[in-house]
Amino acid sequence: MDAKANVIRSLKKHDIGDEFSHVSSFPKASVLIPLFVREGRVHVLLTVRSTQLKHNPGEVCFPGGKSDPHDQDEIDTALREALEEISLPPDGVEVVCRLCPLLNQRGLLVTPVVAFISDSFQASPNPDEVSEVFSVPVEWFLNEKDHSAYPVPNIGEYTHSFIYTDPVTDKTHQIWGMTAFLIILLAVLVFEKKPEFEVGFDLENLIVNFRRYLQHKLSKL
């Protein structure tokens, strides 16, 4: 079985489908986590937000944003935003699964949509929203090197941060917060092994624990 097939097999076990689609207590958003295989390694595509944006300018993130009334579901939102931000055509996306949604610091219920794209895709960033696009091997996020964690609760007990230098452009990027958390989670699910560092959340029955976390948040409303 090749790398892509292995990843799909692993991730589909954690697909939550439309389990939380009915939740209307929070405004909704989606992010697309675009994966591709190059030289046998699984990579994730990331964007750098425009410095002109009101929220989180200049930060590394996934394509994504708030849901639109015309969106049919979380997948629709993620695909629409990816088309708007980096010109990724929906018919060039193979959706694998939806992971359990998370609450971000702005009170948005964010659903991660994991998908495969072609390794030949050339992004055309919308300069109003995205200043740069780059990729990182997913397994890199399991390594202690270039990782740090701050004792500031984000999701779990720590906020994680990575410093990545792109070997193509030699540019250095900080990948932190929810974006770092989601890639750590993705790497654990894909490679089925623990990172070299403490994560601050339970690695056993990950998705079950996130369901409980979200249900606990919803019960307090």
CATH class of 3-219: alpha beta
Q: CA–CA separation, 198 vs 55, rounded Å? A: 29
Give tens-digit pLDDT for 8-34.
999 999 999 988 888 877 899 999 999
Give tens-digit pLDDT for 85-99.
999 999 999 999 999
Cβ neighbour number for residue 220 with a 10 Å cutoff = 6
Contact 110, 62 (CB under 8 A): no
Beta strands at 41-49 and 93-98: parallel, antiparallel or unpaired: unpaired
Look at residue 68 and tell me whether its pLDDT is greater than 70.
yes
Q: Which two tokens stand for residue 102?
A: 């998370």
State how far Cα 152 lies from the chain centre.
20
Sheet holding 147-150, edge to edge: 147-150, 159-165, 172-176
Residue with tokens 């030289």: 39
How many contiguous H segments (helices) and E segments (strands) does the chain have?
A: 4, 11
What is the band of 208 on the pLDDT scale with cuts at 50, 70, 90? confident
Q: Which two tokens stand for residue 107?
A: 């009170």
Q: What is the pLDDT of residue 155?
A: 62
Among 10, 17, 6, residue whose Cα is nearest residue 186: 10
Q: CA–CA separation, 135 vs 34, rounded Å? A: 10
Contact 108, 29 (CB under 8 A): yes
Percent of the chain's residues with pLDDT above 70: 95
pTM across the whole model: 0.93
As a whole number, mean pLDDT of residues 209-218 equals 74
